[in-house]
Amino acid sequence: MEGRFDNFRPRLDEYCRGIKIGAVMWENKGQNIFRSDRRAISFGGGSVCIFRDEGHAEENSRLMTAGSFEEFDHTADAGIRARGDTLAEMLIAAAHGMLQLMFSGVPESPARPEAPAESGDATRHSTAAVHEHSVAAEADDAEQLLHAWLSELLFRLTVDRSVPVGFDVEECTPQRIRVRMASVPMDERMAGAATEIKAVTWHGLRAEHTLDGWIGEVIFDT
């Protein structure tokens, strides 16, 4: 697999072998949230990594900035509050929040078999599952962009039946975002166990640049 995420292939492969609910690549300032030996994902409000094309993983980890998200209360549905130093970080954090809502209830399943050793590249079997694609969204302002971006992601996820595992933001302004993504197929078990998000609502929608960076709030109809 040649592509934007080649530099992260070893880590991607490690995750892919253990994928149960999609491997979301997180690094929380050096502390892995995804632990491949547990073969499980734990989604939680945490830092989000934005990958760059150049350099290798250790150096890129120093480029990480602290986007984060948390869930907030809403009687019938689910709300996410996302933060980031930049608009891009906030939007990616919001995306991770949406993924958490969808997939955090998926239980672990038995480990997948290892790739055959004689393949010459033990990772080939698993990385074949990862495909790269671009997602873009446009809007009149940052608030509408938050809605458009998450709606686009939701649409792609449900129609393509794939789970994003990596995000590389190529362009981000309050009117447009373009992201190169790595995604893995959503298998039947994962699909069946996912919490369906019907829509990104306009209710309480917020995207604001404050003294502490960007903050976004969105409520999903579940």
Partner 1 sequence: MDIQIRQLDDTTWEIPKTGGMRVPGRVYASRKMMERIRADKSLEQVANVAHLPGIVKYSLAMPDIHWGYGFPIGGVCATDAEDGVISPGGVGYDINCGVRLLATNLKADDVQPRIRHLVKELFDNVPTGVGASKAIPKLSRKDLEKVAVQGARWAAEHGFGSTAQLDFIEEHGCIADADPSAVDERPWQRGADQLGTLGSGNHFLEIGRIDEVFHPDAARVFGLEPDGIVILIHCGSRGFGYQICDDYLKVTQQATKKYNISIPDRQLACAPITSGEGQAYLGAMRCAANYAFANRQVIMHLTEQAVMKALDISDHEAGIRPIYDICHNIAKFETHDVDGARRRVCMHRKGATRAFGPGSEHIPEAYRSIGQPVLIPGDMGRYSYLTVGTDRAMHETFGSSCHGAGRHMSRKKALAASKGRDMIQELRDRGVEIQATGKRTIAEEMPHAYKDVSDVVNVMHDAGIALKVAKFRPIGVIKG
Q: Which residues of this protein are in contact with partner 1, per CB under 8 A?
A: 71-78, 102, 104-107, 151, 155, 158-159, 161, 186, 188-189, 191-196, 198-203, 221-222
Tokens 């292939």 identify what position?
9
Chain-centroid distance of CA 14 in Å reads 17
Identify residue 218 by its one-letter amino acid code.
Answer: V
Residue 24: which of 14, 32, 10, 34 has the closest Cα?
A: 34
Give the nearest distance from C-beta 98 to partner 1 in angstroms: 13
Tokens 């078999």 identify what position?
113
Task: Report the C-alpha gap between 128 and 9 in whole angstroms.
Answer: 11
With a CB cutoff of 8 Å and minimum separation 6, the contacts of 139 are: 145, 147, 148, 174, 175, 176
Q: Which is nearer to partner 1, 125 or 133 (CB)?
A: 133
Task: Report the C-alpha gap between 161 and 105 in whole angstroms.
Answer: 17
216 CB neighbour count, 10 Å cutoff: 27
Q: Which is nearer to partner 1, 127 or 183 (CB)?
A: 183
Give the nearest distance from C-beta 189 to partner 1 in angstroms: 7
Q: Which is nearer to partner 1, 123 or 144 (CB)?
A: 144
Give the nearest distance from C-beta 89 to partner 1 in angstroms: 24
Chain-centroid distance of CA 13 in Å reads 16
Give the nearest distance from C-beta 1 to partner 1 in angstroms: 26
Q: Which is nearer to partner 1, 5 or 220 (CB)?
A: 220
Q: What angle do CA 35, 41, 45 make, to 5 degrees?
A: 100
Give the nearest distance from C-beta 211 to partner 1 in angstroms: 27
Q: Which is nearer to partner 1, 45 or 213 (CB)?
A: 45
Q: Which is nearer to partner 1, 169 or 194 (CB)?
A: 194
Give the nearest distance from C-beta 69 to partner 1 in angstroms: 13
Task: Report the C-alpha gap between 220 and 103 in whole angstroms.
Answer: 14
